[in-house]
Structure 1
Amino acid sequence: MSHGTQPIPVAVAGGGLLVTGGIGGVDRESGDRPAAIEQEVANVFANVRAVLEAAECTAADVLRLTFFVSDRSTRDLINREWLAMFPDEADRPARHTLVTELAGQRVQAELIAVDGRSAR
């Protein structure tokens, strides 16, 4: 997967881990950022799932997700998607949400996961 026009990968696997850079809320099919923040958050989670799938990982392999948001109120929207992706309260990754300025975005995620290929 590309990281847009930047000469950097979205994710790198090494040492038994999968580590990503920023995963944004752009629609992967159209390349557009949705007008509604709810859809942008949903797209971030869809893009996280796509990165995991490309690396032969699942949500169960995720150790930590960090979210960067431009507005703290986005946290409630993240919680909704979070519970859908990680429904078992006894088996969720670590998580942190930081408010920061995001150029042209309202939400972005980074993750650390166990590399699904090295676990086999």
Structure 2
Amino acid sequence: MYHALYADIASETTANIRDNERAAFEKSISLLRMAEEKGRGSRESVEALLFLNRLWGVLLEDLAHPENGLPETLRATLISIGIWMLKRADDIRQGREQAFAPLIDVSESICRGLRRA
């Protein structure tokens, strides 16, 4: 009886975490779209890039934690994506890149994956 209850709670907790991650990606996508519309250097751009940095900072910290339950290869892939996202965001901030579309595309792909999981 207790094992079934624990499994239900663990399943709900995982679903809640996934929902929160998806919501964070949806907010990031929305901010990035506004930044794309207003252009690099706009207030919207600063806000979107700051949010993206915070989001990926939290995700990378979690992915690097030894108790993270994801398979090691998936964690490594997500860490690589996160590092690329942060580098691309810095390139935009520094004026070396202008396009937000790659950040939006990758974020949408991850968000779709979170919906299916």
TM-score, normalised with respect to structure 1: 0.28
Q: As a proportion of its length, which structure holds more strand?
A: 1
Q: As a proportion of its length, which structure holds more helix?
A: 2
Please say which structure displays the higher CA radius of gyration: 2
TM-score, normalised with respect to structure 2: 0.28
